[in-house]
Structure 1
Amino acid sequence: MQPTRVLIVDDHALFAEALAARLGREPDLVPLPVAADARRALALAATEGPDVVLLDLVLGAESGLDVLDRLRERHPRVRVVVLTASDDLDAMVQAVRRGAVGWLSKTEGAGLVAQVVRSAARSGGWLPPAVLGEVLRRLRAGEPEPNGGARRLAELTPREREVLQCMVDGLNRAEIAERLGLSANTVRTHTQNLLAKLGMHSALEAITLAMRAGMRPSA
């Protein structure tokens, strides 16, 4: 398996360099040169080919959300995880709507950051469990899509729909495998296939689409 290339975009040099050094001790992660502003971030994204970008929301006078927009426009395959000191739910919802696949607080440990980077690189995502339900509620309220979402769900095979239901239930890959009696690799394949069919980039986006289309957690 190829190592995951990680670009950290943060104007706090000491924090960013310390995090890059810590992630560099993980055998499967390769930190790229740190970017302190939007210009540098976009240049490195073009030349270094990161798999995952860890993006702060405040870059001096620049908005991280604007940088997110430009990254998603120019490099749609790059997975963006917001790493910030903010706990603003509105900003979290906006980030997800604009293509972020995860949100981490700077108070989290480097071990969790590494886990989320790995998950993002494999079409997963992560939001703080304490606010996940509220974020999904706001996403559903802001972007109703019952008909279009239902049509896309109809393209899934029965097994893919079962996997998606497990995702809506909040299960991780290992838990889905246990519930359905499948291997983790098979769950990964079904997840990748259903994301492709739905036109989604992350599990979080797929869950949001499914819930907007009427799918609900199992009782």
Structure 2
Amino acid sequence: MTPIRVLVVDDQPLFAEALSAWLARDPGFEVVAAAQNGAGARDALAATAVDVVLVDLDLGDESGIDLLDHVRDHHPGTRAVVLTASNSPDALADAVRRGAASWLSKTADGATLTRVLRGVLRDEVWIPPNLLGGLLRTLTEQPGSTVLDRLTVRERQILQCLVDGLTRAEIADRLFLSANTVRTHTQNLLAKLSVHSVLEAVALALRHGMRPSGPAGTD
């Protein structure tokens, strides 16, 4: 049988190397590349045929969610599987909307990983049972698609902080991020919302139902 061609995308080189080496021991898989960020992953996808992209959601200053968009829009024959330490129903719902075929915890055992990678090529879906209830609630509690659905979970968090009137430094403190990371996410969300300023972004968020979380930007 032709081996399943896998692209590993994780910003932790040691983890990516260990995962790649483990998969390479199985003749049913071929790791075609390991990338540490979205740019490297897009280059690998352009350079070689890939059956499954195995992607972490947290790629340092980037989000793996954006890579899911790229795979869905530019490589429709490639399946995307999220491999992450996150257990957020919101992040899971976001990944599902962006085309993730399955979601795996980084604590999953090897047998589960290989079973899921084989299964997605048969259009099977794997969601951890302990997250399934939260996923269904999250999907059903959000009645309709809005322009804000283009944003990743992190970008929505930053937009909420902007609605709360926080400065970049205050957002960084609240979300435990660097100021540069906040700036990058802010630039990304402005582009996705097709606005040119933070003020426009806040006005758009308010029109679509987002409200300040408290009188001083507190929950």
TM-score bracket, shorter-length normalisation: 0.5 to 0.7
How far did 1:113 drift?
1.0
Residues in 2 aligned to 1:134 and 1:50: alpha-carbon distance in whole angstroms: 31
Report the residue type matching 1:142 in the other structure: Q
* 1:134-193 residue CA offsets vs partner (Å, 9 max, x unmatched): 313432443579xxxxxxxxxxxxxxxxxxxxxxxxxxxxxxxxxxxxxxxxxxxxxxxx
- Determine if the alignment matches structure 1 residue 62 to structure 2 residue 62: yes
Q: How many residues align structurally?
A: 145
Aligned partner of 2:21 in structure 1 is 21
TM-score normalized by the length of structure 1 = 0.62
* Distance of 2:60 and 2:144 partners within structure 1: 35
Cα deviation 1:1-42 (Å, max 9, x = unaligned)? 422111100010100110111011112111112011111101
User: Which structure's relative contact order is higher, taking Cα pairs within 8 Å and 6+ residues apart?
Assistant: 1
> Which residue matches 2:12?
12
Name the CA distance, whole Å, in 1 between partners of 2:25 and 2:139.
Answer: 36
| RMSD across aligned positions (CA) | 1.6
Give the C-alpha shift of residue 109 in structure 1: 1.6
CA contact (8 A) 1:11 1:36 kept: yes
Note the residue ranges of structure 2 that are not aligned, 5 or more in a row: 146-219
1: distance between equivalents of 2:133 and 2:60?
31
1:36-51 matched pairs, under 5 angstroms: 36-51=36-51
Give 3-state SS (helix, strand or coil) of 1:34's partner.
Answer: strand
Aligned twin of 1:72: 72
Partner of 2:197: none
The verdict on how the C-alpha distance between 1:71 and 1:143 changes in structure 2, with shifts beyond 3 A counting, is farther
Identity of aligned residues (%): 48
Distance 2:83 2:11 in 1: 12
**How many angstroms does 1:132 deviate by?**
1.5
The CA deviation at 1:129 is 1.1
Distance in 2 (alpha carbons) for counterparts of 1:17 and 1:59: 15
Matched with 1:135 is 135
